[in-house]
Chain A
């Protein structure tokens, strides 16, 4: 399981988000990942290290290649966490619906007096 702080911190960088988006379409090597970016391979490798440390990607050894892919557990943990927060926020606003409805009823009552 990834550390959520490390995971969100890793996601705060646009290059790393682009790398994850690319990996969502399938496994890739550093060389393939570096191709679309105007940055060096060592820089991409550093980003991969951050993503790996955050539990968002895993790498395997295949001869001299070290292809990367998304770490299913890490990505799912983030979505699960966001869903939990989303529920808490939704409950706030569902309660606000009730408060607004009560305000409206009161207004109508006062208007009819």
Chain B
């Protein structure tokens, strides 16, 4: 059973939603506290996050470094813009592959949903080309695609 959806919206947005059987406070902490982030934000099996910096205050730094244990790795940097415990996080991020990718502006919301939480992550890319490139390379920890509807295609 899949609880996750991912759709493109307009030319520049990607929206991910997923339900969790946990309160918004847990989701918010798991997205902002380094010791929790590095337990799950890992992408494919076998990857770890040896460096996880998350300064959860406006202007605070984000730096995630991933490694596959066999010499391959990449990292992401970003900054927090707005934090509303335990309902909303706004940050910008970019991948380093090693050239930095254009900024991805991300708003993550945690709304009560029954006994749990509905997470809605809305990414805004600078333009349609950047979004296309992001989907093609699967950057951002291989996150970008589930039900990409391709707006009416098939």
Residues of A that sit less than 8 Å from B by CB = 4-5, 7-9, 11-14, 17-18, 20-21, 24, 75, 78, 81-86, 88-93, 95-101, 103-104
Residues of B that sit less than 8 Å from A by CB = 2-4, 6, 11, 16, 18, 20-22, 26-27, 29-30, 36, 39-45, 128-129, 131-133, 135-138, 141-148, 150-154
Contact B138 A98 (CB under 8 A): no
Contact B21 A8 (CB under 8 A): no
Shortest distance between the CB of A94 and any CB in chain B (Å): 9
Contact A18 B136 (CB under 8 A): no
Q: Which of A5, A81, A86 has the most CB of B within 10 A?
A: A86
| CA distance in complex: A24, B149 (Å) | 14
Chain B residue nearest in CB terms to A89: B143
Contact of A86 among B26, B30, B44, B145 (CB under 8 A): B145
Contact of A12 among B11, B36, B42, B153 (CB under 8 A): B11
Contacts of B131 in A (CB 8 A): 12
Contact B2 A92 (CB under 8 A): no
| CA distance in complex: A43, B145 (Å) | 30
Shortest distance between the CB of B27 and any CB in chain A (Å): 7
Known: A17-B153, A86-B6. A8 touches B42 (CB 8 A): no
Known: A85-B144, A86-B146, A89-B6. A5 touches B43 (CB 8 A): no
Q: What are 20 A-B contacts with C-beta separation under 8 Å?
A: A4-B137, A5-B136, A11-B132, A17-B152, A18-B152, A75-B154, A81-B145, A82-B135, A88-B143, A91-B43, A92-B41, A93-B3, A93-B20, A93-B40, A95-B39, A96-B40, A98-B40, A99-B36, A100-B22, A103-B36
Contact A89 B146 (CB under 8 A): yes
Contact of A91 among B18, B45, B135 (CB under 8 A): B45
Contacts of A88 in B (CB 8 A): 43-44, 138, 141-143
Contact of A100 among B30, B43, B146, B148 (CB under 8 A): B30
What would 10 more interface pairs be, CB under 8 Å, given A24-B153, A89-B16, A93-B4?
A11-B153, A17-B150, A84-B142, A85-B138, A86-B146, A91-B45, A93-B3, A98-B40, A100-B20, A103-B22
Contact B39 A82 (CB under 8 A): no
| CA distance in complex: A81, B145 (Å) | 9
| CA distance in complex: A66, B110 (Å) | 51
